[in-house]
Amino acid sequence: MIGGESIDVNSGWASESTELPVPADLLAATFSDFLLKNLEWVEAILDSYYDGAQVEATVRRHGAPPRLSEIAYEVFLTTDESERRVDLVYTNLRKYGAVFNTLAASCDVHGRIVAEPRRRRAPKPPSTSGTYPAFASLAATSEPYVG
């Protein structure tokens, strides 16, 4: 149970298809969620602003010996910040993320941040408001090792 909620997982050995996520899918989703939480923290520290964010992450597994071989991700950020500021946000996401650094020590973790301009100009909320922009979504999948 997590926060009073239970999550059903496909933990069987059979290769039959199921609607339930496998543990690697949950890891990809969790990694995506940590990136989004770190993005909130970095936004406050750097006094940057964005309207929304979306993370897509894929975990690749290696067959023998069984292990995670790679986590690839993309962070889509809706913002009018300069390219330099977006790069600074991205550097801080990688440098100060405990989960990011823990996973990067055990497998190849790589990705990119893509800044998309805002559609309409919204005033920046006061930094003391404590509110954060709504996140669009996150997508996470795992892929078995093929090769």
Is 54 inside any structural domain? yes
Domain with 30, as residue range(s), is: 23-123+132-143
- pLDDT of the residue at 123: 53
**Which residues 6+ apart lie within 8 Å of 59 measured at CB?**
24, 25, 27, 28, 31, 68, 70, 71, 140, 141, 142, 143
Sign (positive/negative) of CA torsion 1, 141, 97, 63? Answer: positive
- From CA 128, how far away is CA 111, in angstroms rounded? 32
- pLDDT of the residue at 145: 46
Is 16 inside any structural domain? no
- pLDDT of the residue at 17: 59
Is 9 inside any structural domain? no
Is 109 inside any structural domain? yes
Which domain CATH number covers 78? Answer: 3.30.300.20
- Among 7, 22, 19, 6, CA closest to 144: 22
**Which residues are 58's β-sheet partners?**
72, 141
Q: What is the tally of structural domains in the chain? A: 1
- pLDDT of the residue at 2: 53
- pLDDT of the residue at 87: 94
Is 5 inside any structural domain? no
Tens-level pLDDT at each residue, the chain (147 residues): 455 666 565 556 565 556 777 778 888 888 998 999 999 998 888 888 888 899 999 899 888 888 889 999 999 999 999 999 999 999 999 998 888 999 999 999 999 999 998 875 555 544 433 333 333 344 445 555 444
Is 88 inside any structural domain? yes
Is 10 inside any structural domain? no
A 10 A CB-CB count for 35 gives: 22
CB 37 within 8 Å of CB 76:
no
